[in-house]
């Protein structure tokens, strides 16, 4: 699978390698260009090359040319190992040959040992012939890039059983400890049940058939059994079920959307129509993690391989309460999330781990520095409610509830709160300039220096209209009163003036009554929200059961 040497300063040679054709006589191309018609030289026609070739450096093109045969060979091998090859008999033949070679290795070496080098050379020649056949298809740079991407995808698929585990340093230590602990069991198995040759044969068969269709179906059927999952846990010490659970719910946003998506579809129509169903509520949970450093104390600076300072319920990285945002629904239902609680609150019970008196509140929005924490050892094990010298990590639980509402209902609710309270309508107050029926009263004090008058505005039950003439002013019992002239006829007031008069009567008493009813309405609304929240919680618990 060697390729001829290519000079960097000869782009025509690079183009020829990718296209399969070269320009051997430039004068002929020049002559054909002058005539305006293509020149036929008896060879194959000129093939249009990839647009990437002109923008790709020659050094990169040279490297791709040299690596292309090996890429074809590796791509074919991974196709067989991942059972994605067009020829379904090649993976089966590979499994059979591997198993027979392991089982009868001694006999093969004894009787056919001299034929093994010849067989290896024949296999190599067949591989070279396959590579040359692929190269004869006039591959362009696009084909090489496609081959590279396909090779990368197949490598990821072949290594997926290992990379999907996301093993940490703690998981590796636990796996090593479990393996050492089960060493006696392995020794007994290799002595009495299976020979080393049989163990190697089974391991090879498992690796070569791992990606086969029937093997995937078999694993899915076995994984449904709880006994099989427990057996895998005790043999390896790794919780595969929890890792798959975390992979499916990688972020707090995805978890919230997944949990409420089904319920949202069921209650959207009913909630927007009759309104008898309670709102969809969800309690977001964040965990604050800290580590104790000698000489510094408790800080959010954790080790690089452990959890982050803020995580969700599944130990996935999450935003802090100050930066946390509610998810946005990408649909046309007009529904959105809004907070029910004003702020994030610390769960002083830490999800029931800490016992509190019945008289003390379970949550607080302004916690103390050491309030609500559960303390752990250096590896986040051995939880305790009290701090000690052996505790180096701790965490506490922050909660905040949000509900799913519609835009129209939210706007209507806000306008109702602003304008009415339990059926009592509040008119927009009129400006002072619109008030006409007032009576001015005040005491008169005469002195040699000047005459001073103190006036105050009061709303009388039978107000009189002030006249504009000073001659209508009368002084009676130390009070200044302005009466309307008798010859002036009082015009009938319209309904708006009557309403204004009714509003002015007992204004202070009305305001107090409105305030009292508004407070009563808020308490009733809060009580109804609590009842709806309890009903929603009961429904969720019933569905979970």
Helix (H) or strand (E) holding 288: strand 280-293
Mean pLDDT of 343-354: 91
Is the same domain home to 379 and 316? Answer: yes
Is the same domain home to 25 and 155? Answer: yes
- Mean pLDDT across the chain: 73
What's CA 135's distance to the chain center, in Å?
45
Q: Is residue 125 a part of any domain in this protein?
A: yes
Beta bridge partners of 123: none
Tell me the CA distances in angstroms from 180 to 167, 184, 228, 236, 450, one per residue in order. Answer: 18, 8, 21, 11, 110
DSSP assigned state of 433:
G
Is the same domain home to 104 and 202? Answer: no
Is the same domain home to 212 and 356? Answer: no
Give me the phi and psi of 346, to 5 degrees please.
-85, 130
Supply the angle between the helices 58-81 and 141-163 in degrees, to the nearest 10.
Answer: 50
Full domain range(s) for residue 342: 252-417
Is the same domain home to 266 and 408? Answer: yes
**Which of 33-37, 124-128, 188-192, 336-340 has the weakest average pLDDT?**
33-37
**Which of 60-64, 315-319, 339-343, 402-406 has the weakest average pLDDT?**
60-64
Q: Of 184, 217, 248, which one is at a domain's C-terminal end?
A: 248
Q: Please, which pLDDT band fits residue 357 given cuts at 50, 70 and 90? A: confident
Mean pLDDT of 258-271: 59
Q: Is residue 494 a part of any domain in this protein?
A: no
Is the same domain home to 313 and 202? Answer: no
Is the same domain home to 264 and 280? Answer: yes
Is the same domain home to 376 and 278? Answer: yes
Beta bridge partners of 395: 289, 374
Is the same domain home to 305 and 360? Answer: yes
Q: Is residue 34 a part of any domain in this protein?
A: no
- Cβ neighbours of 134 (radius 10 Å): 18
Q: Is residue 269 a part of any domain in this protein?
A: yes
Q: Of 129, 163, 197, which one is at a domain's C-terminal end?
A: 163
Q: Is residue 283 a part of any domain in this protein?
A: yes
Number of structural domains (the chain) is: 5
- Which residues have CB under 8 Å from 478's CB, separation 6+? 443, 444
Q: What is the DSSP string of 60-112?
A: HHHHHHHHHHHHHHHHHHHHHHTT-SS-THHHHHHHHHHHHHHHTHHHHHHHH
Q: Is residue 422 a part of any domain in this protein?
A: no
Is the same domain home to 318 and 406? Answer: yes
Is the same domain home to 55 and 155? Answer: yes
For the cut 50, the answer to whether the pLDDT of residue 385 exceeds it is yes
Q: Is residue 503 a part of any domain in this protein?
A: no
Q: pLDDT tens for residues 139-188?
A: 677 778 888 888 889 998 999 888 888 888 888 888 899 899 989 998 99
Q: Please, which pLDDT band fits residue 252 given cuts at 50, 70 and 90? A: very low
Q: How far apart are CA 514 and CA 492, in angstroms?
A: 31
Q: Is residue 467 a part of any domain in this protein?
A: yes
Q: Of 207, 229, 248, which one is at a domain's C-terminal end?
A: 248
Is the same domain home to 225 and 317? Answer: no
């Amino acid at each position: 699978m060697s390729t001829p040497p290519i000079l960097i300063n000869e782009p025509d040679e690079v183009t020829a390698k990718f296209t399969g054709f070269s320009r051997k006589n430039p004068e002929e191309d020049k002559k054909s260009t002058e005539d305006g018609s293509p020149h036929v030289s008896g060879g194959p026609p000129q093939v249009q090359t990839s647009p990437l070739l002109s923008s790709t450096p020659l050094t990169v093109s040279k490297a791709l040319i040299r690596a292309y045969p090996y890429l074809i060979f590796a791509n074919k091998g991974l196709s067989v190992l991942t059972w994605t090859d067009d020829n379904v008999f090649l993976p089966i033949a590979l499994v059979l040959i591997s198993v027979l070679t392991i089982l009868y290795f001694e006999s093969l070496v004894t009787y056919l040992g001299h034929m093994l080098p010849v067989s290896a050379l024949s296999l190599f020649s067949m591989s070279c012939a396959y590579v040359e056949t692929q190269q004869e298809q006039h591959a362009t740079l696009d084909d090489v890039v496609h081959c590279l991407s396909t090779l990368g995808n197949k490598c990821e698929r072949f290594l997926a059983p290992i990379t999907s585990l996301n093993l940490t340093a703690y998981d590796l230590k636990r796996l090593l400890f479990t393996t050492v602990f089960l060493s006696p069991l392995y020794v007994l198995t290799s002595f009495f049940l299976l020979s080393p040759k049989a163990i190697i044969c089974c391991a090879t068969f498992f690796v070569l058939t791992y990606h086969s269709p029937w093997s995937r179906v078999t694993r899915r059927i076995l994984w449904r059994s709880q006994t099989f999952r427990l057996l895998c846990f005790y043999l390896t010490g790794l919780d595969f079920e929890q890792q798959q659970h975390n992979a499916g719910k990688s972020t707090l946003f995805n978890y919230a959307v997944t949990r409420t998506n089904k319920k949202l579809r069921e209650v959207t129509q009913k909630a927007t129509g009759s309104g008898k169903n309670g709102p969809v509520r969800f309690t977001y949970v964040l965990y604050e993690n800290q580590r104790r450093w000698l000489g510094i104390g408790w800080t959010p600076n954790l080790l690089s391989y452990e959890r982050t300072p803020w995580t969700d319920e599944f130990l996935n990285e999450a935003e802090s309460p100050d930066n946390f945002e509610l998810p946005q629904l990408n649909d046309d239902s007009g529904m959105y999330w809004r907070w029910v609680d004003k702020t994030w609150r610390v769960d002083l019970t830490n999800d029931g781990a800490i016992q509190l008196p019945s008289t003390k509140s379970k949550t607080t929005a302004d916690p103390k520095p050491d309030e609500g924490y559960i303390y752990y050892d250096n590896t986040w094990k051995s939880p305790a409610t009290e701090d000690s010298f052996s505790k180096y990590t701790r965490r506490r639980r922050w909660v905040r509830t949000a509900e799913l509402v519609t835009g129209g209902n939210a706007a209507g609710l806000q306008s109702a709160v602003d304008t009415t309270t339990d059926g009592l309508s509040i008119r927009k107050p009129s400006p002072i300039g619109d008030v006409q029926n007032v009576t001015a009263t005040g005491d008169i004090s005469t002195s040699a220096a000047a005459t001073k008058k103190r006036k105050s505005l009061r709303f009388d039950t039978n107000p009189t209209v002030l006249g504009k003439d000073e001659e209508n002013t009368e002084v009676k019992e130390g009070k200044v009163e302005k009466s309307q002239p008798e010859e002036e006829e009082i015009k009938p007031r319209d309904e708006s003036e009557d309403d204004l008069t009714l509003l002015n009567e007992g204004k202070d008493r009305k305001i107090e009554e409105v305030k009292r009813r508004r407070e009563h309405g808020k308490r009733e609304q809060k009580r109804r929200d609590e009842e709806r929240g309890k009903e929603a919680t009961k429904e969720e618990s019933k569905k979970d059961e």
